[in-house]
Amino acid sequence: MLSVSRLRILRELHRLGTLAAVARALSYTPSAISQQLAQLEREAGVTLLEHVGRGVRLTAEAQRLVEHTEAVLARLELAESELAGAHPATQGVLRVASFPSVVLSLIPRALTMLAASHPELVVEVTQREVEPAYAGLLAHDFDVILGEEYPGFPDAIVDGVDRADLVEDTLRLAHPSSGPFADATRLEQLADAPWTLDPIDTALGRWALAVCRAAGFEPRVRFESPDPLLHAHLVRTGHAVAFLPELIAAQHLGDARLLPLPGAPTRTLYTAVRTGRLRHPAIVAFRDALAEAARQEKAG
């Protein structure tokens, strides 16, 4: 009988590419990972790894075994979900990865609902950007991730992952209510303003830069940060202009001004889970609470 734990190590090697990366991800030493894979080869009776330079790569047989491993892990999670559904209370620990603006706007309200309706459910939230969050979801480090998608920059479709859109959040142009740019009514009028933007390697950063360039200017970025509260604070105190989603702007902008953007762009907030845990009671309860929190936020 093939060992499920060793199969998972092979799967992680396929996903991450190196023994050292697998060792870091699973908190083992590289030698322990090598020993486990050697034992799996003996169990399988075929060669699973080929040495290439100082590294290794999976053989064709190993690739097929990884495909079966994905199915096995999904089926085990389905069994766990069915067993959890037989329990009278929704309980256990739910590991969630989210980006900052959802932690600020939706998760607190959702946690309040869950504490009232499912007091035995513990939700642990870790802040991650979308790409590392997806990596953690596939590695079984997280049970749910909260992602965001911007116009023109769609997230990749990931096999074995169920995505459910949560809310369309309108994107606005925020600028101070006093100072040299207070009377601006169009994006082009802020071409010379100091900007605060997300880093260019984030979805929001790439989208924001594309919007400015489409308007005919290169933004003068004076502050770069992934923290939406910092963006709102800099706008509110008169030091910068920014793009902000309404869920953040409504709560943190004070008397700063909001302008509509051409085409009324929105970001899509969504949840993603592995398909094997789609019907797990904790997943269902968390997604339902987030959907209700989003509805209440939009209703004001």
Question: CA 38, CA 261: separation in Å to the nearest integer?
Answer: 58
pLDDT in tens, 166-209: 999 999 999 999 999 999 999 999 999 999 999 998 888 999 99
Phi-psi region of 121 (alpha: psi -120 to 50; beta: other; left: phi over 0): beta
Statement: residue 285 has pLDDT above 70? yes
What residue segments make up the domains of the chain, in order of their start?
A: 4-83, 91-161+271-299, 169-266
CATH number of 4-83: 1.10.10.10
Report pLDDT for 78.
81
Task: Tell me what the pLDDT averaged over the chain comes to.
Answer: 89
Report yes or no: 167 and 294 within 8 Å, Cβ to Cβ. yes
Statement: residue 108 has pLDDT above 70? yes
Higher pLDDT, 215 or 104: 215
Report pLDDT for 5.
87
In angstroms, the Cα distances linking 31 to 37, 42, 161 are: 10, 17, 32
Class level of CATH domain 169-266 = alpha beta
**Mean pLDDT along residues 80-94:** 83
Report pLDDT for 26.
79
Decide the pairing of beta strands 144-149 and 92-98. Answer: parallel
In angstroms, the Cα distances linking 166 to 102, 172, 290, 292 are: 11, 19, 8, 10
Half-sphere exposure of 158 (CA within 13 A, CB side): 24
Residues belonging to the chain? 300
Question: CA 91, CA 106: separation in Å to the nearest integer?
Answer: 21
What is the separation of C-alpha 275 from the centre of its chain, rounded to a whole number of angstroms? 16
pLDDT in tens, 148-171: 899 988 887 788 899 999 999 999
Q: Is the pTM value of this prediction over 0.85?
A: no
Report yes or no: 274 and 249 within 8 Å, Cβ to Cβ. no
Matching residue, tokens 């987030």: 290
Report pLDDT for 54.
80
Question: CA 110, CA 104: separation in Å to the nearest integer?
Answer: 11
Report pLDDT for 300.
66
Statement: residue 86 has pLDDT above 80? no
pLDDT in tens, 12-54: 888 888 888 888 877 788 889 889 999 998 988 889 988 888 8
Tokens of 214: 């489409």
91-161+271-299 and 169-266: same fold?
A: yes
pLDDT in tens, 54-85: 888 899 998 898 888 888 888 888 888 788 77
Helix (H) or strand (E) holding 208: helix 203-214
What letter represents residue 222's amino acid? R
Q: Tell the CATH topology of 91-161+271-299.
A: D-Maltodextrin-Binding Protein; domain 2 (3.40.190)
Report pLDDT for 165.
93
Look at 50-54, 111-115, 226-230, 258-262 and tell me which has the smallest mean pLDDT.
50-54
Report pLDDT for 14.
87
Cα 294–295–300 angle (5° rounding)? Answer: 95
